[in-house]
Amino acid sequence: MKDLHSRHRAVLPDWLALYYDTPLEITHGEGRHVWDAEGRRYLDFFGGILTTMTAHALPDVTKAVADQAGRVIHSSTLYLNRPMVDLAERVAALSGIPDARVFFTTSGTEANDTALLLATAHRRSNQILAMRNSYHGRSFTAVGITGNQAWSPTSLSPLQTLYVHGGVRTRGPYAALGDAEFIEACVADLRDMLGQARGVAALIAEPVQGVGGFTSPPDGLFAAFRDVLAEHGVLWIADEVQTGWGRTGDHFWGWQAHAASGPPDLLTFAKGIGNGMSIGGVVGRAEIMNCLDANSISTFGGSPVTMAAGLANLTYLLEHDLQGNARRVGGLLIERLRAICAQLPVVREVRGRGLMIGIELVRPGTDEANPQAATAVLEAAREGGLLVGKGGGHSTSVLRIAPPLSLTVAEAEEGAAILEHALRDA
């Protein structure tokens, strides 16, 4: 393990982060568990950053990948591709967007990049509205609209980005307001921003901010935003890279918690749909999706192998009602965690919905972020046999809990018990 770590440091860039004082090599997985190179088993509450959506080594997906790889692995979008068309039809139907078109990419970053290209080309403007504390990917363009300082390594950008309030409910200038007043204040901020801008192309927003620490506004905020955006012809891009496919339990897409004004103009997705295979994409209204006036292809987006995996994974998700499982088991887990954390002064808030749960840690007696405690809990949870993630605003002080959606009640209880010990140690 030490040899692999030293080799990693010698050949990969310093900014490529690793979890744990002694980094972990995962060699294989099954169900909701993974094993390291020393043979130790862990309950996985992070799923490769919300990516192993159904289960590790799900037979339906591994068989689909093997079968397709035995026929043809690659062709590019220059040729007809049956698995790509099959999956596009299903995604378009599930999106809720009328007359939808789908373009597949290899990651969520690339999906958001594509959505920004489409929106700015359609509106002939490089002005973008984004949410404070947001994260949309690692590329130059995506970093340019990221409102989370910890994940924004440069101020240079091809876009002019303006940030609005609303992504974080319990911090900031409107935190003390009731939900209705909070929405009203955020809408007033948006109106003021649009009054000072010219020809904004789009608002891009995560229904639940992922890297930002699983924060979210009151239900209905983005519907209220949509009404204001429509007055100015501004498009709404829902970044569903982390919230999509039923993870929040109550809804299949995160935007559906704000559904009064209908679906977004563009929706981006990735992560869970491939259950670990590299799939991202954009689905949107044909008028916008067809707006580019130059040739374009994707070499690896829509690969027959990844599309076969996505089809098998989506079929399993729907046939086994994993959205319903996320709602039921996630509801039990969050209530269990709230009960555990109620008497712990290091915990400021337990929040989330479905199997997308954040535990925000602070210095006891204050509202000051406590990234040291988050690191300590991460290490202690690993020692107890549990893997979780970290996130948050300007410091990584939020534990991120996002297991595969097939999590059982017994596994939820087991994970909660390990977290309780880890939090008490912190």
pLDDT in tens, 381-417: 999 999 999 999 767 899 999 999 999 999 999 999 9
Per-residue pLDDT of 220-248, as tens digits, reads 999 999 999 999 999 999 999 999 999 99
What pLDDT is attached to residue 200?
97
Residue 416's identity, in one-letter code, is A
Return the CA Rg of the chain.
21
pLDDT band at 140 (very low <50, low <70, confident <90, very high): confident
Cα dihedral angle (128, 132, 136, 140), rounded to 10 degrees? 60
15/127 Cα distance (integer angstroms)? 29
What pLDDT is attached to residue 198?
84
Domain ranges of the chain: 2-54+322-425, 63-319
Q: Which residues contact 40 (CB under 8 A, 6 or more apart)?
A: 385
304/295 Cα distance (integer angstroms)? 22
State both tokens at 261.
Answer: 């004004």
Strands 357-361 and 41-44: unpaired
In the CATH hierarchy, which top-level class contains the domain 63-319?
alpha beta
Whether residue 260 is predicted with pLDDT greater than 80 in this model: the reply is no
Average pLDDT over residues 169-196: 95
203/255 Cα distance (integer angstroms)? 13
Q: Sign of torsion, CA 142 143 148 151?
A: positive
What pLDDT is attached to residue 143?
81
What pLDDT is attached to residue 73?
96
pLDDT > 70 in the chain, percent: 100
1/23 Cα distance (integer angstroms)? 8
Average pLDDT over residues 177-204: 95
Residue 266's identity, in one-letter code, is L
Q: What are phi and psi of 30, to 5 degrees?
A: -155, 130
Whether residue 304 is predicted with pLDDT greater than 80 in this model: the reply is yes
The separation between the first and the last C-alpha atoms of the chain, rounded to the nearest angstrom, is: 26
Quickly count: other Cβ atoms within 10 Å of residue 80's Cβ.
Answer: 8
Per-residue pLDDT of 265-300, as tens digits, reads 999 999 999 999 999 999 999 999 999 999 999 999
pLDDT band at 20 (very low <50, low <70, confident <90, very high): very high
How does the average pLDDT of the chain come out, rounded?
95
373/345 Cα distance (integer angstroms)? 12
CATH number belonging to domain 2-54+322-425? 3.90.1150.10
Strands 347-352 and 127-131: unpaired
* Whether the Cβ atoms of residue 403 and residue 53 lie closer than 8 Å to each other: no
What pLDDT is attached to residue 394?
67
Q: Sign of torsion, CA 267 272 274 280?
A: positive
111/103 Cα distance (integer angstroms)? 8
pLDDT band at 1 (very low <50, low <70, confident <90, very high): low
